[in-house]
Structure 1
Amino acid sequence: MQNFHLTLADISPTSASQMFISTDGVFNSRARVLGGGSSINAGFYTRASASYIKKVGWNDELVNESYPWIEKQIVHKPDFGPWQRAIRDSLLEIGVSPFNGFTYDHLYGTKVGGTIFDRSGRRHTAAELLATANPQKLHVLVHATVQKIEFDTSGKIPRAVGVMFKDENGNTHKATLSKIPESEIIVSSGAIGSPQLLLLSGIGPKKDLQKMNISVVVDNKYVGKGMSDNPLNTIFVPISNRTVKQSLIQTVGITKQGVYIEASCGYGQSTDSIHCDHGIASAEIGQLSTIPPKQRTLEAIHEYRRTKRNLPHEAFKGGFILEKIAKPLSKGEITLANTNIDDNPSITFNYFSHPADVAKCVKGIRMVEKLVRSKHFAEYTQYDQGMVEKLLNMSVKANVNLIPRHTNDTESLEQFCKDTVITIWHYHGGCHVGKVVSRDYRVIGVEGLRVVDGSTFNVSPGTNPQATVMMLGRYMGVKILRERLGKGAGV
C-alpha cells in the first residue's frame, strides 16, 4: 500500500502503469499489467447503487451472487485509524448523514467501504480471481499484446475469427477461434484500450478510419465517443504535532448534492525524496501545484518538481480531502493518434465544459471547507499561524492548495475548480451500450465479439468503479455459460 504513488510515478517502459496526458492537460494513468486497474489503484471497494443496477438492466439475483464471489476472495475490511475516524465524524457533523457503518453498499450518507489491501498492506487484485478457474481450460499470455481483431467478411455480417498479437520479443502471432458456433472473442481492455482496439480493427467512424488507412469493417460513429472522466479537486490539509499513519481511501461521504467526499493522508512524513516525490503522473498535480491544466506541459511539471524543494516540510506532512463529481455531464472522445496499439490514443474529456459540473464542484468545495473547519477535525488543523502564512504566501511555482481564500465568491471558486482539476482514474465510456454494444455486450454489426469492461458504462458506478467492473466480469461469464448450457453446448 505504501508504494501506491510510486507505481503511478514510474514512467519506464516496464511500469505497471502507462501515463497519458489528455488534451485537456490533465495527467492520467492506465494499467498495462495482469489485473488491470486493480493492480495500480488506491484499493477502495464499494458496489454500485440499486438504482444503477436497475437502470442498466442487470439481473438482480445474478448481481447479488457475483459481488460476493469477488469479495470472498480479495476484499478486506480496512484498518480504520484516527484520520479516517476524524473524516467520518466531520462528515456527519456537516450533515452528510446517516452513518451507514462498514458496508459495500452505495447509500446516501457516510460509510466505510472495503479495500483490496489486507491488514499487512498487501494488494489483492483481479488477477487472483484466476485461481478459481479450471487450469486445464485456461491459458494466460502475460506478455502478449493484441494488435488487432481479425474478421471473416465473406458473409452478410462480419464475424470475428481471431486476433493478431505480439509476444515479448516483438514477434507476431495469430490466435484463431475454434469452429464451435458459440466461440467468441471478449475484449476487456478498459475504457481506453477497448475503443482503441475496435478502431484499429476497423470498427468506428468511417472517415476517421480512412484517415489512418484502416479497412472499414463496420462504420459506427459512436466508437470512442461519449468519454467521461469524473473531475477531482482536492484540498491539502497540513497536519501539525501529530504523526499520521498512511491511509488511502476508506471513508466516503455520498451526498445528495452530486459530489462524493473522500480522504487520504500520510504521503510522506519526512523530507526524504522517496516519500515526498509522488511523481508527475500522481494526484500531486493539482494538490500541491497551481499549474492550470493547459499549462501542465512536461517542461512545466519538471520545473515544478525542481522548485518543489522550496516547499516547507509542512507541505508534505498532512492529508488530502478529495471531492469528486458524480455523473459528470461533460463529455469527450478518443481518436487514434496513430496505428500503434502500444501508444496512447488522443483522449479528450472536456472537464467542466458543462456548467452543471462546475456548479457541483463549487458546492463540493464549500462542503470541504465546512469539513476542515469542523470541531472533529480541529485537532488535526491546530497549527501555528506563522506556518499557515508560510504556506499561503509561497510563490506560484511552489504553491499548495489550501482552502481558497474567498469561498463566498462563486466565480473565484469556479475558476479554482477549473485550475486545480485532476483525475481520480474513473474514466469510462467509448463503447456505450445501445450504441457500440448491445445489452448483452455484443459488438453491434459483427458476430463473435463482445466488450465487457468500463468502456460500456454511461456513468461510473458507485463512488469507485472497480467493484462493479470485477462484478461485471463474473456476471457476464456466468451468463454466457448459462446461455451455452441452455443451448446444449459444451462448456
Structure 2
Amino acid sequence: MAPKFGELFLKILLILSIIKSSQGREFSRKNYPYLKMASSFSLSPPRGYDYIIVGGGTAGCPLAATLSQKYSVLLLERGGSPYGNVNVSYLQNFHISLADTSPQSPSQAFISTDGVINARARVLGGGTCINAGFYTRASSSFVKEAGWNIELVNESYPWIERQIVHWPKLAPWQVALKDGLLEAGVSPFNGYTYDHLYGTKVGGTIFNKNGFRHTAADLLASGSPKNLNVLLHATVLRILFNVRGSKPRAVGVLFKDENGKQHRAILNGRRQSEVILSSGALGSPQLLLLSGIGPKQDLDKLGIPVILNNWHVGKGMSDNPMNSIFIPTKKPVEQSLIQSVGITKMGSFIEASSGFGQSSDSIHCHHGIMSAEIGQLSTTPPKLRTIEAARKYSKTKNDLPREAFQGGFILEKIDGPLSRGHLNLVDTNVDNNPNVTFNYFNHPYDLQRCVYGIRTIERIVHTKQFAKLTEDDSYSIEMLLNMSVKANVNLIPKHTNDTASLEQFCRDTVITIWHYHGGCHIGQVVDKEYKVLGVDRLRVVDGSTYDSSPGTNPQATVMMMGRYMGVKILRKRLGKRAGV
C-alpha cells in the first residue's frame, strides 16, 4: 500500500465509519426503544425522575438498568450510540476509533501535562466501546479494602458475565506470551479464569468468537423499558442545587442537546431521589467543579459560584504507566488484543498485542496515533507529544522499515502506582478537557517496578516460544531496545544491565493503558456509600472513587460496581421487596 494511497484509504474508512455511526442511530431507535436523541427531551414524567444518572458508560449503564427495574431513571450520555459503528464493534478496527479525532468519534483525545496521549470515552457504553476487551475481576484484597459485601459482589460479577463476556480463542501471539511467561518463571499457570491470581492466566473478553464487541450498553436491555429513558448527545453542563437549608441539595441537572439547546431535568419530590455521576475519572470531578463543588480558590478564579468548598475534588489522580517492547517476526502475525497476562508479585503486569501495524499484504498500514507505538516507535519524548506531533509522525512513519510494522508488542504496566497527580479546570466549557497531571514515575518504587517488568520481558524474549516467531532467535533485549538505528526510534537505553538507563527508558517511553482513576476519593469527596460529602441527593459511582485500578483491567469491576450499587440502593429502599 503506497503511502499516499494508505492515507487516502484511511480517510475514506473514517468517513464511512461516521456515516455508519449516524446510520446506527436509526438502528438503535428501532431495536432499543429507550434510546432517544437529547433534542427529544420533554418533562416526562412531568413530576421528575427518581434517578438522574450522568454518564452512560461502564458503570452508568448497569446502574441505570438495575435502578429502572423499580424506579424511573433518566440516563444522560454525551456521546452517541455504539450500534452500527464498525470501528466500535469489530476487533480489527480497535485502533481506528482511537485514531479518529472527529467530533463524531467515540473517543475524545486528551494529553496530560506529562505529555502522554490518552483518551476518554464519548459513546454509550463508555470505555467498554474503545478498550482492548480484556475482562478480569478485582483481587480479593481490593474488594475487602473497598468495604464491599462479598456476597453481593459475587452476585454482581456473574450478572455482567452472563450477558456480555466470552472466553477467547487464543491467538498465536497470545499463546507465545502465555508459554513464554511460564518458561520465564511467571508461574503457576492458573488457566482460563476471571480471578486475579499471581502467575500466568487467560482472562475473559467482551469480543465474541467472531471479533464482535459487546459493551456495557448491551446491559441496558436488562432494564425496564417503561422506567428507563436514555438520551444520546446529552451533555450535562452542571448539577442544579437547592441551597436553602442546612445542606445544599441536588434537585436536577442542566444539559444541552445535540443542537446546543439547553434543558433542565428535575428529580421528583421523593426523599430518596438522587443525581448520580458516572462520568468517569475525568468527567465526574470535572462536573463537580463546574457545579461549584471544589477548591474555593480555583472556582473563584473561573467565576463559578461556590456550593461547597472541598479542596480534595480532582486530587489524587493516578494512571497505570505502561511501556512496550516491539518484537519483529518472521512473517505477519494474527491481530490480537489482550488475552494472556502475567501477574507478578512486584505489581508489574505483562501483556501483549499484535498485528495492528500491518495489512494483509504485509505492507505498512495504520497503527493508530493512540496505540502502543507512540511509546517506542514515536520520535518525540513525552513532553513534546502533542496531537500535532502525533499526526506528523503518522504521516511520516511509512518511511520506517518493514520490521517496525511486522510483529507484535509485549507490554508491561505498573499496577497501583504510588505517584499521584491532580485535575483542574481550564475553563467553564464542559466540552473542553480539564488539565490533568499524573506525575508518572514520580515515586521511586514505580520506577523499580517498571525496570523489573522490562527485565521480565527480556527473559520472555529469550524463551523458545518467541524464538519460533522472531526474525532472529538470538535477540537480546539490547538489540530490541536499540532498534532505534533501524526504525528511527530515539530515547532507547544503551545497556540493560544499567538500572539508571532502564529507568530513563521507562520515563522516556511511558504511555498509557487507559486505566486512570481517582479525583473523587472515599473519605475526601464521597463517603463509603459514594454519597458526596456535604451535600444531599448526590452520589458518584465510577472509577474516580478508586484509590487504585482493580485487576489487570478495571472494566469488569467498574461494571460490577454499577450493578452492585444499583442492587444495594434498591434493597435499602425496598428491603425484601426489591427482588434483585
Give the TM-score normalised by the residue count of structure 1: 0.95
Runs of 4+ aligned residues of structure 1 deviating over 6 Å after TM superposition are 271-275, 388-391, 487-491
* Counterparts of 1:418 and 1:343, CA distance in 2: 27
Q: Which residue of 2 aligns with 1:75?
A: 165
Q: Which residue of 2 aligns with 1:194?
A: 284
Q: Which residue of 1 aligns with 2:124?
A: 34
Is the CA contact (8 Å cut-off) linking 1:151 and 1:161 kept in structure 2?
Answer: yes
CA distance change for structure 1 residues 167 and 396 in 2, over 3 Å: closer, same or farther?
farther
Q: Which residue of 2 aligns with 1:258?
A: 347
Is the CA contact (8 Å cut-off) linking 2:362 and 2:406 kept in structure 1?
Answer: no
- How do 1:308-319 residues align onto structure 2 when only pairs under 5 Å count? 308-319=397-408
Q: Which residue of 2 aligns with 1:62?
A: 152
- How do 1:262-341 residues align onto structure 2 when only pairs under 5 Å count? 262-270=351-359, 276-341=365-430
2:113 corresponds to 1:44: no
* Counterparts of 1:490 and 1:197, CA distance in 2: 33
CA distance change for structure 1 residues 407 and 384 in 2, over 3 Å: closer, same or farther?
closer
Match of 1:134 among 203, 224, 240: 224
SS of the aligned residue for 2:185 comes to coil
Shift of 1:315: 1.1
SS of the aligned residue for 1:135 comes to coil
Identity, % of aligned positions? 67
CA distance change for structure 1 residues 263 and 391 in 2, over 3 Å: closer, same or farther?
closer
Shift of 1:398: 3.0
CA distance change for structure 1 residues 278 and 268 in 2, over 3 Å: closer, same or farther?
closer
Match of 1:407 among 496, 499, 521: 496
Residue identity matched to 1:198: L
* Counterparts of 2:553 and 2:180, CA distance in 1: 21
Q: Which residue of 2 aligns with 1:108?
A: 198
Deviations 1:158-193 (A, max 9, x none): 000000000111000000000011100111000000
Match of 1:169 among 259, 263, 269: 259
Deviations 1:141-164 (A, max 9, x none): 011111100000011100000000
Shift of 1:231: 0.3
Q: Which moved more, 1:193-202 or 1:374-383?
A: 374-383
- In structure 1, list runs of 5 or more residues that go unmatched: none
CA distance change for structure 1 residues 275 and 18 in 2, over 3 Å: closer, same or farther?
farther
Shift of 1:382: 3.7
Residue identity matched to 2:548: V
Residue identity matched to 1:54: K
2:97 corresponds to 1:4: no
Residue identity matched to 1:45: Y
- In structure 2, list runs of 5 or more residues that go unmatched: 1-90
Match of 2:555 among 460, 466, 479: 466
CA distance change for structure 1 residues 440 and 314 in 2, over 3 Å: closer, same or farther?
same
Match of 1:370 among 424, 442, 459: 459
Q: Which residue of 2 aligns with 1:91?
A: 181
SS of the aligned residue for 2:244 comes to coil
Shift of 1:391: 9.6
* Counterparts of 1:458 and 1:309, CA distance in 2: 41
SS of the aligned residue for 2:229 comes to coil
Q: Which moved more, 1:140-149 or 1:289-298?
A: 289-298
* Counterparts of 1:84 and 1:416, CA distance in 2: 25
Q: Which residue of 2 aligns with 1:351?
A: 440
Shift of 1:400: 7.6
CA distance change for structure 1 residues 272 and 429 in 2, over 3 Å: closer, same or farther?
farther
Q: Which residue of 1 aligns with 2:211?
A: 121
Residue identity matched to 1:160: A
Deviations 1:347-374 (A, max 9, x none): 1101111111011111110111111111
* Counterparts of 1:218 and 1:267, CA distance in 2: 47
Q: Which residue of 1 aligns with 2:16?
A: none
Q: Which residue of 2 aligns with 1:144?
A: 234
RMSD between aligned residues: 2.3
* Counterparts of 2:241 and 2:460, CA distance in 1: 55
2:320 corresponds to 1:215: no
Shift of 1:56: 1.0
Q: Which residue of 2 aligns with 1:249?
A: 338
Q: Which residue of 1 aligns with 2:114?
A: 24
Q: Which residue of 1 aligns with 2:508?
A: 419
* Counterparts of 1:310 and 1:180, CA distance in 2: 64
Shift of 1:313: 1.4
Residue identity matched to 1:398: N
Residue identity matched to 1:35: G
Residue identity matched to 2:116: V
Is the CA contact (8 Å cut-off) linking 1:307 and 1:397 kept in structure 2?
Answer: no
Shift of 1:284: 2.0
Is the CA contact (8 Å cut-off) linking 1:186 and 1:452 kept in structure 2?
Answer: yes
CA distance change for structure 1 residues 438 and 302 in 2, over 3 Å: closer, same or farther?
same
CA distance change for structure 1 residues 153 and 275 in 2, over 3 Å: closer, same or farther?
farther
Is the CA contact (8 Å cut-off) linking 1:149 and 1:164 kept in structure 2?
Answer: yes
Q: Which residue of 1 aligns with 2:537?
A: 448
Q: Which residue of 1 aligns with 2:245?
A: 155
SS of the aligned residue for 2:341 comes to strand
* Counterparts of 2:307 and 2:399, CA distance in 1: 56
Deviations 1:242-269 (A, max 9, x none): 3321110000000011100000111133
2:379 corresponds to 1:379: no
CA distance change for structure 1 residues 256 and 183 in 2, over 3 Å: closer, same or farther?
same
Residue identity matched to 1:337: V
Q: Which moved more, 1:80-89 or 1:248-257?
A: 80-89
Shift of 1:309: 1.8
Is the CA contact (8 Å cut-off) linking 1:290 and 1:396 kept in structure 2?
Answer: no
SS of the aligned residue for 1:343 comes to coil
* Counterparts of 1:274 and 1:171, CA distance in 2: 47
* Counterparts of 1:469 and 1:135, CA distance in 2: 23
Q: Which residue of 1 aligns with 2:53?
A: none
Is the CA contact (8 Å cut-off) linking 1:96 and 1:253 kept in structure 2?
Answer: yes
CA distance change for structure 1 residues 389 and 133 in 2, over 3 Å: closer, same or farther?
closer
* Counterparts of 2:261 and 2:235, CA distance in 1: 10
Give the TM-score normalised by the residue count of structure 2: 0.81
Is the CA contact (8 Å cut-off) linking 1:290 and 1:420 kept in structure 2?
Answer: no
SS of the aligned residue for 1:418 comes to helix
CA distance change for structure 1 residues 384 and 204 in 2, over 3 Å: closer, same or farther?
same
Deviations 1:41-60 (A, max 9, x none): 00000000011101110000
